[in-house]
């Protein structure tokens, strides 16, 4: 029975809008990190998720996540095409209409598979990506939403995940690792990020949207919501500074890109704990995230995994780290509906969190690797060598991110060539008399 609260409902509509903004933010973040020939190819993978994931969510995704139960793993099709959802249908918080909850959760579904795309940038065909997007949502994302948030066995067992440490970041990160190992290395490596200002813009949008991502997961506007909001900013800030210091110490220069990446690592790591821990704990989570995720990326580099945009090191490791640290630092004093972690008298809760992380990591890795093999039987997953050399913007999409700039460069080159030809014609007249 719906007991409408306009304050909670308005707040959740705002949070839903903020989470929606994160996907364009991710597109800018990833777009700045790749080379100039692949900007549109990586950005469309985020934007197309906004369209296609919405179609899937409406058709059967929401129903599989939040209606019915099959062995604690997945729901059923009772609410397919939003059948049975009316104006008076409540969400899990009966002061907010189900319509708002459906939209809020849909934004999570949109951004999660888009995170994975940063790992295999520059080398996966668009057709294979669309098949992957569909299969991954169905076989990995929807089951974990149900298991953790939709009444499945992990939720019943007592596993806690406030806003998506397992459901979003951990499974996306380990799916990214499986993708990298299956697809293999790029034939043509980028020289580096082509536009760090674009990365900064994307980071700002992600950070801003993350307030809705974490605070909105309380599904109401109260003191826990305020704590989650503060914890989100605190952890991101401390992680950004910690990563900056690690880069300064190890690479001898304070890197702006490191500051930005560290902020995202902190945001990912605090996500599962944001509404269950104190702000002081958020400080610890942020500092640990900045250091651990930095060295995870360093380890990836030493192992020569071509995780192009460090999805595993930031999201996979960050999400897992956040779930485990929640098992240590969870405190019911900051959320009576939460749990007490190891430091507050419940070591069993930590064990549950660790088991959940291991289980989700293996599931995401195994299903992702298998589905890529199956997709490869029907359509090539990896682009051809010539397509990669030209760049995916041209070879797949027939578009260019910087058309005017390229034309200007050609014009400047032609002008320089004509000037050199003129100098060559004038040279004999200048040197002749000297002979």
Tokens of 403: 């058309």
Mean pLDDT of 85-100: 96
CATH class for the region spanning 6-397? mainly alpha
CA dist 118 → 182, 310, 312, 316 (Å):
15, 7, 10, 12
pLDDT in tens, 174-223: 999 999 999 999 998 888 899 999 999 999 999 999 999 999 999 999 99
The phi and psi torsions of 136 (rounded to 5 degrees) equal: -70, -40
**Separation of CA 243 from chain center:** 19
**Residue 412's pLDDT is what?**
53
pLDDT class for 421, splitting at 50, 70, 90? low
pLDDT at 427 over 80: no
Show the 3-state SS of the chain: CCCCCHHHHHHHHHHHHHHHHHHHHHHHHHHHHCCHHHHHHHHHHHHHHHHHHHHHHHHHHHHHHHCCCECCCECCCCCHHHCCCCCCCECCCCCCEHHHHHHHHHHHHHHHHHHHCCCCCCCECHHHHHHHHHHHHHHHHHHHHHHHHCCCHHHHHCCCCCCCHHHHHHHHHHHHHHHHHHHCCCCCCCCCCCCHHHHHHHHHHHHHHHHHHHHHHHCCCCHHHHHHHHHHHHHHHHHHHHHHHHHHHHHCCCCHHHHHHHHHHHHHHHCCCCCCCCHHHHHHHHHHHHHHHHHHHHHHHHCCCCCCCCHHHHHHHHHHHHHHHHHHHCCCCCCCCCCCCHHHCCHHHHHHHHHHHHHHHHHHHHHHHHHHHHHHHHCCCECCHHHHHHCHHHHHHCCCCCHHHHHHHHHHHHHHHHHHHHHHHHHHHHHCCCC
pLDDT in tens, 363-408: 999 999 999 999 999 999 999 999 999 999 999 999 999 875 444 4
Tokens of 223: 């003191």
**Residue 403's pLDDT is what?**
73
**Residue 424's pLDDT is what?**
59
Angle between helix 317-329 and helix 279-302 axes, rounded to 10 deg = 150
Mean pLDDT of the chain: 93
pLDDT in tens, 344-363: 999 999 999 999 999 999 99
Whether the Cβ atoms of residue 38 and residue 126 lie closer than 8 Å to each other: no
What sign does the dihedral 413-419-424-425 (CA atoms) show?
A: positive
**Residue 420's pLDDT is what?**
60
pLDDT in tens, 23-38: 999 999 999 999 999 9
Q: What is the pTM of this model?
A: 0.91
pLDDT at 169 over 90: yes
The phi and psi torsions of 97 (rounded to 5 degrees) equal: -65, 150
């Amino acid at each position: 029975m719906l007991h409408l609260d306009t304050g909670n409902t308005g707040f959740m509509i705002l949070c839903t809008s903020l989470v929606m903004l994160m996907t364009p933010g991710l597109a800018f973040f990833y777009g700045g990190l790749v080379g100039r020939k692949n900007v549109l190819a990586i950005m469309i993978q985020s934007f197309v998720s906004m369209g296609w994931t919405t179609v899937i969510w409406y058709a059967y995704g929401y129903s599989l996540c939040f209606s019915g139960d099959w062995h604690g793993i997945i729901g059923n099709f009772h609410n397919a095409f939003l059948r049975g959802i009316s104006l008076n249908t409540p969400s899990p918080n009966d002061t907010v209409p189900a319509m708002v909850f459906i939209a809020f959760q849909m934004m999570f579904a949109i951004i999660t598979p888009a995170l994975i795309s940063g790992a295999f940038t520059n080398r996966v065909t668009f057709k294979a990506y669309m098949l992957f997007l569909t299969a991954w949502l169905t076989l990995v994302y929807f089951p974990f939403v149900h298991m953790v948030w939709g009444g499945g066995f992990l939720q019943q067992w007592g596993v806690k995940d406030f806003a998506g440490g397992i459901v979003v970041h951990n499974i996306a990160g380990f799916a990214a690792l499986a993708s990298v190992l299956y697809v293999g290395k790029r034939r043509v490596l980028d020289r580096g990020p082509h536009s760090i200002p674009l990365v900064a813009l994307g980071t700002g949008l992600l950070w801003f949207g993350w307030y809705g991502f974490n605070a909105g997961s309380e599904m109401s506007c109260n003191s826990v919501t305020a704590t989650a909001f503060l914890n989100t900013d605190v952890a991101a800030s401390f992680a950004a500074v910690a990563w900056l210091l690690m880069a300064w110490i190890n690479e001898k220069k304070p890197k702006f890109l490191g500051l930005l990446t560290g902020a995202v690592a902190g945001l990912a790591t605090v996500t599962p704990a944001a509404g269950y821990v104190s702000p002081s704990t958020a400080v610890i989570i942020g500092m640990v995230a900045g250091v651990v995720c930095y060295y995870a990326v360093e380890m990836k580099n030493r192992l020569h995994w071509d995780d192009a945009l460090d999805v595993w090191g930031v999201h996979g490791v960050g999400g897992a780290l956040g779930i485990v640290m929640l098992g240590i630092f969870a405190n019911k004093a900051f959320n009576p509906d939460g749990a007490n972690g190891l430091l507050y008298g419940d070591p069993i809760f930590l064990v549950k969190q660790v088991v959940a992380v291991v289980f989700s990591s293996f599931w995401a890795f195994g299903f992702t690797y298998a589905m890529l093999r199956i997709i490869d039987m029907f359509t090539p997953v990896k682009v051809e060598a010539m397509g990669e050399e030209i760049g995916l913007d041209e070879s797949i999409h027939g578009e260019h991110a910087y058309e005017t700039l390229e034309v200007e460069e050609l014009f400047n080159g032609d002008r320089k060539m004509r000037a050199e030809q003129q100098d060559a014609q004038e040279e004999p007249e200048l040197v002749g008399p000297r002979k």
